[in-house]
Amino acid sequence: MKRLFFVPRGRSSSERLARGLLLAGVFALAVAAYQKNFERVIARTEARGVVADPAGVLTREDRLWLLEAAEHLRGRFGLELAVRLGTDPLPATAPNNPKKIVVYAASDCAGSRVVLPPLAAAGLPAGLPADLAREHLDAACRAGKAREGLLAAVGLLVSALDEAADKAKGDDT
């Protein structure tokens, strides 16, 4: 009888069993390592779309928190979050995507901006985006705390959107 190519060789059945288990273990480790690497690549790709931090101001935990905030905005409101730290200047007009929120922290501590889609801006107080940019992003940058200012601005923005949505639900019922 001809032996199959994938059956381990051995002098006894216990040796063949041990070799087979070791071979299965190697395959399991390879699959686990591939899956872990794939998850890490996906997380990095998602982070690039949400957070652009060429100077490395944010910590890993900050990036994870921003990804969670972006997921919350996507799940609850269908909005996308883009956080940009000191990259190329943001255009004066709103982004082409009507569902994208852009939080831009300028490296010169003077040109930061929060751009909201018209529908999201309509539910918030009129000067909130300018206030977040001026009082949180720029002021914190001048104080040497750009990271804290950015996280505070995003947190306040998410809270304001949540409060506006909860208030709107309360008014409808």
When comparing pLDDT for 156 and 15, which is higher? Answer: 156
Closest CA to 113 of 147, 89, 144, 143: 89
pLDDT (tens digit per residue) in 29-65: 999 999 888 877 776 666 567 888 887 888 889 988 9
Judge whether residue 9 has pLDDT over 70.
Answer: no
Residue 160: partners with Cβ closer than 8 Å, 6 or more residues away: 124, 125, 128
**Dist CA 16 CA 4 (whole Å):** 13
User: What percentage of the chain exceeds 90 in pLDDT?
Assistant: 35
User: What is the model's pLDDT at position 88?
Assistant: 63
User: What percentage of the chain exceeds 70 in pLDDT?
Assistant: 83
CB 115 within 8 A of CB 102: yes
Torsion over CA: 44, 45, 48, 50 (sign): negative
When comparing pLDDT for 65 and 16, which is higher? Answer: 65
Q: Where are the alpha helices (DSSP H) in the chain?
A: 13-50, 60-77, 118-122, 128-131, 139-142, 146-172
The band of 87, judged by pLDDT with boundaries at 50, 70 and 90, is: low
Q: What is the CATH architecture assignment of 52-172?
A: Roll (3.10)
β-strand 80-85 against 51-52: which pairing, if any?
A: parallel
User: What is the model's pLDDT at position 57?
Assistant: 86
Domain parsing of the chain, residue ranges: 52-172
Q: Which two tokens stand for residue 88?
A: 């190329």
Q: How far is CA 151 from CA 26, 107, 154, in A?
A: 43, 16, 5
Judge whether residue 8 has pLDDT over 80.
Answer: no
Tell me which of 55-69, 135-149, 159-173 is least confident.
159-173
pTM: 0.68
What is the distance of C-alpha 112 from the center of its chain? Answer: 20
pLDDT (tens digit per residue) in 114-143: 999 888 888 898 899 999 999 999 999 999
Instruction: Give the three-class secondary structure for 137.
Output: helix
What is the distance of C-alpha 50 from the center of its chain? Answer: 5
The band of 167, judged by pLDDT with boundaries at 50, 70 and 90, is: confident
